[in-house]
Amino acid sequence: MFNHKRFFAVTRVLIALAAVSFTAFFAFSAVAAAAAEKKTGDPVYEATKSLHATGQPQDINVETWRLEVTGDKVGNPLSLTYQDLQKMEMTNKNVVLVCPGFFTDKADWEGVPLKSVLSMAQVGDDWKILEFRSADGFRSSLSREEVEKNFTILALKVNGVTLPKEHGFPLRLVAEDVTGGKWVKWIDRIEVK
């Protein structure tokens, strides 16, 4: 038998839920639109708005951060500050980052050639692998062949602006023709093996 009271009670609940959902959707849309409008005109936002961001952005204190270059193949272990890297000779190139099955980004990356850092560290001729460690604990590696045959830099800038933290500030690996999953962000250590 049809229960009118139950029907009207359920109907009131559904209408209330629809009203709350409708209000929340438009409130969220208004906040998102306001955030986008606020960022419009910001040079960093404009330079990076078309790039995908992955990982949890790290808050790094650039005053205490160091890039450590270590390993048994290193003749001169390094502990470089952000300012040390900024003073080094830089190079730039428009490089495509590919995360297979997810996205492709193209950007102008600028930074210190990886080979320059290896030279400063007096890396011996018998090394085989570079392991990169991120401030968030992520690790990845490049083989010697990947480093030698590809454009590889430690990037400090993207599209003419300082790397924002979403894209790896203060330092990220850029390795042309190497899958994007190996482009370690927030690098704080390179171990030469």
The residues that bridge with 109 in the sheet, in sequence order, are: 93, 158
Q: What confidence score (pLDDT) does residue 25 get?
A: 38
Q: At 169, which amino acid appears?
A: F
Domain ranges of the chain: 4-40, 45-192
Evaluate the CA torsion angle 169, 172, 177, 178 in order and state its sign.
negative
Please tell me which residue, 26 or 188, carries the higher pLDDT value. 188
State pLDDT tens for residues 72-125: 999 999 999 999 999 999 999 999 999 999 999 999 999 999 999 999 999 999
CATH of 45-192, one of 3.40.30.10, 1.10.10.10, 3.90.420.10, 3.40.50.1970: 3.90.420.10
Q: What percent of the chain has pLDDT over 70?
A: 79
Q: CA distances (Å), 18 to each of 12, 31, 32, 35, 127, in order?
A: 10, 20, 21, 26, 63
The set of residues, in sequence order, having a beta carbon less than 8 Å from that of 100 and lying 6+ positions away, is 179
State pLDDT tens for residues 72-87: 999 999 999 999 999 9
The rounded distance, in Å, linking the Cα atoms of 158 and 75 is 31
State pLDDT tens for residues 153-182: 999 999 999 999 999 999 999 999 999 999
pLDDT tier for residue 152 given thresholds of 50, 70 and 90: very high
The set of residues, in sequence order, having a beta carbon less than 8 Å from that of 44 and lying 6+ positions away, is 161, 162, 164
